[in-house]
């Protein structure tokens, strides 16, 4: 199996952590934004990362890749079968992928991606505004819904936990940490998740990349 992308993308990181939690191996083909590599574009026609290939099957989109892998390798089950649990897992994944990543992405894109990878200044005002206005209600929402078990669905590890952790790594790279005083359950959740080998390895590689 081949995954095209870079774990600096929250979508790629989510997919890689999922693959690791499944106990699967994947070859990572480092692929940046805008890559025209024909192999990558065959998997990802609109050039978004991650792209994926398994033999003659190629597809893009983190959710599509994860759906394929969960169906092909059902154990350990990371996407519950019970209808309500399954729907909740997908809700948290969607919340993480769209609402949380949309806000976190404004910080990461403008403070990191634009200056470091695109050679231009980011919109720092937009980043500051997202940090002050968009993130706080999202952190409050997460703190309010996290169960005592520290797992979002079924009191065990699911895709929901993996998806919710990933964008926080991008926030970490721009110096935004969850305050353990105001959001203790979220801070504890992230500490536990980031200590799992599935995330710890990726995060240490990313920190090394940023010279940390």
Ligand X SMILES: N[C@@H](CCC(=O)N[C@@H](CS)C(=O)NCC(=O)O)C(=O)O
199 binds ligand X (CB under 6 A): no
- Minimum distance from residue 159 beta carbon to ligand X (Å): 12
Q: Which two tokens stand for residue 67?
A: 């759906």
What is the dihedral sign for C-alpha 99, 171, 202, 209?
A: positive
What is the dihedral sign for C-alpha 95, 97, 98, 101?
A: positive
| Binds ligand X by CB under 6 A, chosen from 93, 97, 154, 161 | 97
DSSP-derived pairing of the beta strands 2-5 and 27-30:
parallel
Q: How many CA atoms lie within 13 A of 172 on its CB side?
A: 18
93 binds ligand X (CB under 6 A): no
Count of chain residues binding ligand X (CB under 6 A): 11
Q: Which segment (60-68, 124-132, 156-164, 178-186) binds ligand X by CB under 6 A?
A: 60-68
- What does the radius of gyration of the chain's CA atoms come to, in whole angstroms? 17
Please give the DSSP secondary-structure letter assigned to residue 1. Answer: -
Backbone angles phi, psi at 11, to 5 degrees: -75, -40
- Minimum distance from residue 141 beta carbon to ligand X (Å): 21
Nearer of residues 9 and 89 to ligand X, judged by Cβ: 9
- Minimum distance from residue 132 beta carbon to ligand X (Å): 23
What is the dihedral sign for C-alpha 101, 107, 110, 114?
A: negative
47 binds ligand X (CB under 6 A): yes
21 binds ligand X (CB under 6 A): no
| Binds ligand X by CB under 6 A, chosen from 41, 48, 151, 185 | 48
Binding interface with ligand X (CB under 6 A): 9, 11, 33, 47-50, 61-63, 97
């Amino acid at each position: 199996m081949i995954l095209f992308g870079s774990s600096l993308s929250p979508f790629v990181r989510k997919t890689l952590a999922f693959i690791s939690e499944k106990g699967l191996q994947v070859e990572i083909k480092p692929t940046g934004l805008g890559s025209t590599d024909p192999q990558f574009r065959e998997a990802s026609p609109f050039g978004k990362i991650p792209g994926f290939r398994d033999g003659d099957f190629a597809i893009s989109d983190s959710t599509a890749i994860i759906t394929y892998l969960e169906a092909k390798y059902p154990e350990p089950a990371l996407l519950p079968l019970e209808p309500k649990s399954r729907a909740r897992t997908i809700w948290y994944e969607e919340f993480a992928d769209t609402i949380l990543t949309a806000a976190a992405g404004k910080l990461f894109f403008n403070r990191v991606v634009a200056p470091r990878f695109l050679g231009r200044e980011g919109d720092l005002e937009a980043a500051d505004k997202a940090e002050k206005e968009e993130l706080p209600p999202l952190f409050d929402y997460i703190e309010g819904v996290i169960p005592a078990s520290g797992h979002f669905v079924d009191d065990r590890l699911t895709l929901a936990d993996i998806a919710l952790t990933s964008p926080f790594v991008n926030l970490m790279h721009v110096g935004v940490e969850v305050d353990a005083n105001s959001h203790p359950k979220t801070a504890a959740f992230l500490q536990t998740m980031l200590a799992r080998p599935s995330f710890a390895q990726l995060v240490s590689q990313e920190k090394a990349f940023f010279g940390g």
